[in-house]
Structure 1
C-alpha cells in the first residue's frame, strides 16, 4: 500500500510539472492571462517556462521579470519578440533567447499598455509610485496563481523607462511581499533624465555626427529642459525634451543606436500581436493591441522627466538587493556617458568603494565584449557594440552578464 501510494505521489509530481504550462505562440511551455491589480485594472502577463532540458522542474531555474519602457511600450511584444523571447519579429526561433536558461515573465505595464486594460479610462497611473504599487499587487496575484515560483530566485530587468519603474517596483516588492527577490537590473536606464538630455549634443559632436553650429543649438535647447525642471514645470520639460530629440532626428540619427539607421517596428509588432499571437493565445478581439500607447505616455508626461536617483539610493542602502546597471555604449537616449555621470551623484554608503574599484573586462571567446565594475552591491556593465537594446545588439555579452547576475545566487 505504501509503495502504491509512493507511485501515485511520484506520478502526481510529474503531472504538476507537465501541467504548469500551455501551448502558446512558439516553442515550450507557456502561460498567460490577466490579473486584476486594482479595481477595474487588469494587467496582462505572458510567462515562458524555461526550456532547459537539464532541470527536472521549472523551480530549478530563476524567474526573470522583463519590464519594457516608453512608458507605454509593451513587454510582451518588443521585450519578448524584439529582444529576449524564444521567437523573433520574423516568427523565427531566437538562438539567444533567455528562455533556454530561465523562466521569463513579460508584463504589459503600465495599465493600458499592450493587452493590459482599464475598465475606467480615467484611472491611468500618473507617477512612478503608482506604477510600483500596481506591479507589487500584480506579483501578489501572480504568486497566488503560480505557487511554483514562490520560493524561486527572482530577478527584475527593466529597460529604459522600464528601469525607472523597476527601481520603484523592487523597492515596494521588497518591503511588502514575501519573495526571493535577488536583484534589480537597470538596462539602458532612464533614471536621471536631465543627465541624459545634456549628454546628447556632446556625444554627437565628439563623434563628428553634428557640426559646432548644431551642437550649440542642441545645447541651448537642452539647457531649457533644465530651466523648466528647476521651475517644476515637468510637462513642459517633457515637451522641450522632444524638441531636442527632433533636432537630432532631423539629421537621420537614431537615438537608440547612433551607429545604425532608424528602424520602426511598431507596424510589424501590431500585426503580429493582433494576428497570429492573439489567435494562438485565444485572446478576445475586443482587446486591441498597440505596441505603444500614447494615452499611457501622456498620463505620465508630468512624471517623465523626474529623477529616480533617490529610489536607486534607497535600493543600495536600504536593501540587500544587488543593483546592476547595464549600458550599451552606442546608446544615445540613455547614454553611457550620462549613466556614468549620474552614478557619481548617488549618495550611499558604498559610494567610495564603487568609485575606487577597478574596471574589469568582460571576455567572451577570447574577445572583449565589455567591462564591469563592482563596489558594494552596485555593479555597472559597459557593453560594446550595443545600443539601447543590449540583449538584441550583443547577445554574447548579455549572456555573460546574465551568468554573473544570476548564478551567484544558485
Structure 2
C-alpha cells in the first residue's frame, strides 16, 4: 500500500552514533526529467515531530492517514524531501542518548551533513533549486540550517543551489509568541480578564527568566504558561483556535491538568500534536493513529531494520533541547537578509495560537536589516484566488511575509489554495 510510493529513502550517519532518515518523493508533474522541478526540503517542528510522519501523511504528502490520495499534495508540482530531524526523531535515531543534539547550531550542522550525503546518493539534485521549508520549531531549525549551508557553499565545501528558506508559523522568537497568547485569546473571547491576567503573568515570568539567561527555567515557565492557558480556556486548540475540541468544564479541566505535569503537556502539544483536551487520550503513545501506522505499516513497507522504532526517542529529543528551546534566532534571519542573496519567506496562519500571527508580526517588524524601512513602507497586498480573499502579502527585496486566512499552524493543510499561491510565488512552479 505504501510501497508503491516509496521513491527514495536513506538512513545516513551524520556523525558518530547519530543516524538521520530521509524520504524523497519525486514530483509526479508531467516533465521530461524530475530534476526540471525544484526540490523542497521539509522540516517538521517539536522538536521531535517527524517530517516523514506528520509532514508527509498529515500535511502535504501524496497520501493521508487513511491512505487516500491527497488532492493538494506538493509532489504534484515539486520534488519533496522529508527529513526526520533532529536525530532521534521519527525513523532517525542515536545509538546512545549522549549523541542527541544540544542546540540549534548542532542541528544545522547535522542537516548539512545529511544534505551532503543526499547529494552523494543523488548527484543530479546538486544543481536543482533548493527551497528549505520549516514549520513551527522546524522554522527555527530551517533558518540556522540555511545559514550554515550558505557558508558551506561559499567556502566550496558543498555544491548546492540554495534559493529560499521559508518559515511557516515558526518558533523564531519564542517569547514574542508566548507574550501574544493572553491578548490574542482575550480579543477572540476565549478568556476573560482574569484569564488574561493569569496567562500574561506567567508569560512575563517566562520573559524574566529568559532575559536573565536562565534558559531551562524559561522553558519550564513556558510550559507552565501553557498549563494555565489550557486551564482557563477549557481546551482551545493550540494549532487552530477554530478547530472543534471536546467540551470540558473548568472543574473537569482542572482535574485533568492535575494529573499531567507542565512538561508532559508541553510535549503533548509540541511533539505529539494532540488536538483535543489533555486527558482525552490514553498516555500510551501507541494509541496515536500516526504512530501506529508508521510502526505497523510504513516501517515494514520501507524495509527498515527492526532496531529502529518510530518516535521512540522523541521525548528525549525534546528534553535534551530544553536549554535551547526558548532562545530566539531572529539575528540569524537578519544575517541572511543583510549578507546573502537567499530569499527569506515568513508565512503565518491567522488562526494559529502556538506561533500566533501577532507574535510573528512583532519580531518581523522589529528586525534590523538593510531593507527594514522600505519593507515597513511597502504595500500590503491582498491575495485573491477565484475572487476569494485568501490572505495578504508584504515584500521588499529578498524578504516577504504572507498572512494566510482561514488557516492555523498547519497552513498548507488548512488553506491549500493560499499555500499553493505562495509556493508558486516562491519557487516559480505550482
Residue 285 (structure 1) shift:
2.0
Aligned: 1:333 with 2:333: no
- RMSD value, Cα: 1.5
Q: Are 1:70 and 1:292, in contact at CA under 8 Å, matched by a contact in 2?
A: no
Assess, with a 3 A threshold, how the Cα gap between structure 1 residues 284 and 87 changes in structure 2: closer, same or farther.
same
2:274 to 260, 264, 278: 264
Aligned: 1:41 with 2:18: yes
Alpha-carbon separation, structure 1, partners of 2:396 and 2:29: 32
Alpha-carbon separation, structure 2, partners of 1:404 and 1:191: 22
Q: Are 2:42 and 2:55, in contact at CA under 8 Å, matched by a contact in 1?
A: yes
Q: Which deviates the most, 234-243 or 115-124? A: 115-124
2:198 to 217, 224, 236: 217
2:304 to 272, 283, 287: 283
Alpha-carbon separation, structure 1, partners of 2:3 and 2:369: 44
Q: Are 2:127 and 2:161, in contact at CA under 8 Å, matched by a contact in 1?
A: yes
Give the structure-2-normalised TM-score: 0.87
Match of 2:363 in 1: 342
Match of 1:230 in 2: 211
**Structure 2 matches for 1:245-324, cutoff 5 A?**
245-250=226-231, 251-262=234-245, 264=274, 267-290=288-311, 293-324=314-345
Q: Are 2:88 and 2:311, in contact at CA under 8 Å, matched by a contact in 1?
A: no
- Partner SS, residue 223 of structure 2: helix
Give the structure-1-normalised TM-score: 0.91
Q: Are 1:75 and 1:109, in contact at CA under 8 Å, matched by a contact in 2?
A: yes
Q: Are 1:67 and 1:159, in contact at CA under 8 Å, matched by a contact in 2?
A: yes
Match of 1:243 in 2: 224
Q: Are 1:26 and 1:86, in contact at CA under 8 Å, matched by a contact in 2?
A: no
- Cα deviations by residue, 1:50-81 (Å, 9 ceiling, x for unpaired): 0112x011111000000000001000000000
Match of 1:395 in 2: 416
Aligned: 1:130 with 2:112: no
- Partner SS, residue 277 of structure 1: helix
The runs of 5 or more residues in structure 1 that have no matched partner are: 1-23
Residue 309 (structure 1) shift:
0.6
Residue 117 (structure 1) shift:
1.0
Q: Are 1:249 and 1:255, in contact at CA under 8 Å, matched by a contact in 2?
A: no
Alpha-carbon separation, structure 2, partners of 1:339 and 1:292: 30
Q: Are 1:28 and 1:49, in contact at CA under 8 Å, matched by a contact in 2?
A: no
Alpha-carbon separation, structure 1, partners of 2:274 and 2:327: 27
Alpha-carbon separation, structure 1, partners of 2:415 and 2:313: 24
Q: Are 1:50 and 1:104, in contact at CA under 8 Å, matched by a contact in 2?
A: yes
Residue 291 (structure 1) shift:
7.9
Q: How many residues align?
A: 385
2:57 to 70, 81, 84: 81
Match of 1:5 in 2: none
Alpha-carbon separation, structure 2, partners of 1:240 and 1:294: 18
- Cα deviations by residue, 1:260-306 (Å, 9 ceiling, x for unpaired): 13573761111110011112111122211128811001110100000
Q: Are 2:3 and 2:302, in contact at CA under 8 Å, matched by a contact in 1?
A: no
Assess, with a 3 A threshold, how the Cα gap between structure 1 residues 26 and 351 changes in structure 2: closer, same or farther.
farther
Alpha-carbon separation, structure 2, partners of 1:381 and 1:27: 35
Alpha-carbon separation, structure 2, partners of 1:134 and 1:275: 28
Alpha-carbon separation, structure 2, partners of 1:69 and 1:315: 21
Q: Which deviates the most, 174-183 or 153-162? A: 174-183
Match of 1:196 in 2: 177
Aligned: 1:367 with 2:388: yes
Alpha-carbon separation, structure 2, partners of 1:246 and 1:90: 32
- Cα deviations by residue, 1:172-210 (Å, 9 ceiling, x for unpaired): 111113211100000001000110000000000011111
- Cα deviations by residue, 1:19-38 (Å, 9 ceiling, x for unpaired): xxxxx826556110211111
Match of 2:144 in 1: 168
- Cα deviations by residue, 1:108-138 (Å, 9 ceiling, x for unpaired): 0000001111122211111110000000011
Q: Are 1:270 and 1:291, in contact at CA under 8 Å, matched by a contact in 2?
A: no
Q: Are 1:27 and 1:86, in contact at CA under 8 Å, matched by a contact in 2?
A: no
Residue 318 (structure 1) shift:
1.3
Alpha-carbon separation, structure 2, partners of 1:327 and 1:334: 8
The runs of 5 or more residues in structure 2 that have no matched partner are: 153-157, 246-272, 276-284
